[in-house]
Amino acid sequence: MLEKGKIIRHNQVGTDLYEIELAAGAIVREAQPGQFIHLRVGDAYDPLLRRPLSIYDVDAEKGTMEILYRVVGKGTKLLTQLTAGEELDLMGPLGAGFSIAEGINKVCLIGGGVGIAPLVFLARRLRSKNVELCFLQGTRTRAQIVAEQRLQAWSVDHYIATQDGSCGYHGMVTDLLTDENIMQGVQFIYTCGPEPMMKAVQAWACQHHIQGELSLEEYMACGIGACLGCARKLHSQDEFYVKICKDGPVFGLHEVELYEGRTGS
């Protein structure tokens, strides 16, 4: 659906990282973890297209949702200038979100950088179903760590890895997968972040015969499967392409051929 979302709060939470809280009752009622909203920043022609951003968290009672975004270009840079009281033009919730398997008692969520955004909403949903979870968050440095307080409030086991060692484990977040104290009893794994990170998660899960899901990204125009812009082959030998916006952004962890670089095909 289309909805005008009024900005309730907008603040910087880390290096180039911002949280924005929006009143968008109709979208919030339908939103599922892993889905995204397609938002228009301003009404000028540059930037022209909407920006797809994962839903970071929702408050069903208040009818609000939060978006966590990283400043990467013109659109997100412009977005940082908007303040409380202003409205954003929203389309959503869009895409296929995470599935929440029944009969699973413990899951692992592993996110890199701003890729943790959809995993936080998922953590909220899983905790409301009393699923035990370990949340592994990887960043380059301490100033990029977010969501600590809310994860704590939901009694989530939260593990941090920084590449510069400024907080938590010193190294890649995927190294934590080998820690049996953390991973003991994990039956399902969800991941979102840089592709090389997800590739390492996939390799570990494959080795341990654990199923899971991941979330992909791609340039998008329409966000609803009409323009066929956000195409990707799940496997390089496939003949046909899936559309990240409509068939995804969530796919089975073992369903996708991942790459060390940004993308293949």
Q: Compare residues 49 and 82 and give the one whose CB is closer to other proteins.
A: 49
Q: Which of 48, 60, 84, 153 binds other proteins (CB under 8 A)?
A: 48
- Least CB distance to other proteins at residue 245 (A): 10
Q: Which stretch binds other proteins (CB under 8 A): 109-117, 143-151, 177-185, 212-220?
A: 212-220
Check residue 260 for interaction with other proteins (CB under 8 A).
no
- Least CB distance to other proteins at residue 219 (A): 5
- Least CB distance to other proteins at residue 230 (A): 8
Q: Which of 174, 232, 234, 250 binds other proteins (CB under 8 A)?
A: 232
Check residue 71 for interaction with other proteins (CB under 8 A).
no
DSSP the chain: -EEEEEEEEEEEEETTEEEEEEE-HHHHHH--TT-EEEEE-SSSSSS-S-EEEE--EEETTTTEEEEEEE--SHHHHHHTT--TT-EEEEEEEESB-----TT--EEEEEEEGGGGHHHHHHHHHHHHTT-EEEEEEEESSGGG---HHHHHHTT-EEEEEETTSSSSEES-GGGGGG-HHHHTT--EEEEES-HHHHHHHHHHHHHTT-EEEEE-----SSSSSSS--SEE-SSTT-SS-EETTTT-BEEETTTS---SSS---
Check residue 227 for interaction with other proteins (CB under 8 A).
yes
Check residue 167 for interaction with other proteins (CB under 8 A).
no
Q: Which of 167, 241, 257, 259 binds other proteins (CB under 8 A)?
A: 241
Task: Give the residues lining the site for other proteins (CB under 8 A).
Answer: 1-2, 40, 45-50, 91, 218-233, 239-241, 246, 263, 265
